[in-house]
Amino acid sequence: MSNILYTPLTQTAFESSGTSNVENPLTVNQLTRQLLPLKVTNNEIDSGLKRVYWLGNYQHKKKPKPVDKCKPKNQLKRLLGLNHPPKDVLSYTDAMKLNELWTSYMKKIVNFDDLRKRGWDGTPGCKYWEQFMTSLYKCDFHGAHIKVISSKCCSYILVAGVIILETKNTFQIIGVDNKLKILPKDQCVFELELEGYLIQLYGKHFIVRSKDRSKKKIKDNLMLEL
Amino acid sequence: MTKIERKKQEFNVEINQNRINYLYQLSTVVAEQCPGLSSTYNSILKGLSQKSLLRVDPEIKRNICKGCDTMLIPGKTVTCRIIKKSKGTIKWSCNFCGKSKTFRKNNNNCIWSENPNFLLQTVIHD
């Protein structure tokens, strides 16, 4: 907008306005100075020319109402929009920082050096497999890098990403596309990487809220039919 | 020494303590970018301590908002002001829900975690 004001005008513009041809082309700012009376100051011309006029279907934004503090916590979180994660804020590089925290967290819980001495292979059904799965079942999975191996719906297969939110029935992940994807737990089998081992997780075991998972027990750690 | 030998045998010890520690770290990382996630992490932290009958340290509890469970980092998600009339008490008000908490200044009273006799020894795990 500012570039148009201070560049010289073309002669076609003078012809359309009705004025005669001028040898020295003037800018818009200088031409309004000539036409207007001397009472009008230069600052008023600049402010008048630079004003923006909204045309079309422009509506003023309504101010959001302040939320009552006295409402119960469930309603207050819903009104503030804190329940659902934002779709475009976190990128994949930000999510991988959470994955670095998660790997350091898992090394505290599981001593892999002790397990190797006892003859633990990482395959399902081997020695100490049930004890390992009961400890892993109580862990936190926010920040884990996950991959779908098999599912009833074929379009979910080979979708990978970092878990951001875990609800009762879904995992919500961020992939390489920087987009948020929602995976159902019930129909999928997931895969994890820990210390070079590949571990399979059956989604049917995880259909509880993440708070309540610390107290419940898995009955069958081994193979399941989907 | 007997306790330490037992810990090496069982590889699934102190799961809930570590999980609370991890959730607190996660919510501090995400607090500025998306406060919705940090509120969900902190609400899991509170529910987990109730289920597993563990007490949370008051320094952690002070950094969690009572209204919306977001992380309170001074200067970023909280505005901290000093009230002159009541002799220098500090008031923290949350930027999202607006709830406030006040910390009175009394040099005579302090909580047990701030007392220097609280720390017996520091142990570093490799």
Three-state DSSP class for residue A207: coil
**pTM for this entry:** 0.74
Q: In this prediction, what percent of chain A has a pLDDT beyond 90? A: 24
CB pairs under 8 A between A and B: 103
Task: Supply φ then ψ for residue A199, to 5 degrees.
Answer: -120, 135
CB-CB neighbors (< 8 A) of A111 in chain B: 8, 11
ipTM metric = 0.79
Residue A103 pLDDT > 70, yes or no? yes
Residue among A66, A83, A214 whose CB faces B16 most closely:
A214
Average pLDDT in chain A? 82
Q: What is the DSSP pairing of strand A160-166 with strand A145-151?
A: antiparallel
pLDDT value of position B112: 81
What's the sign of the alpha-carbon dihedral A153, A208, B61, B125? negative
Are A118 and A127 within 8 A, CB to CB? yes
Distance CA A210, CA A220 (A): 19
Regarding predicted confidence, which is higher, A218 or B83? Answer: B83
Residue A4 pLDDT > 80, yes or no? no
User: What is the full DSSP assignment across B44-65?
Assistant: HHHHHHHHTT-PPPHHHHHTB-
**Degrees (nearest 5) of the Cα angle A166, A164, A89?**
135
pLDDT value of position B79: 94
Distance CA B98, CA A68 (A): 9
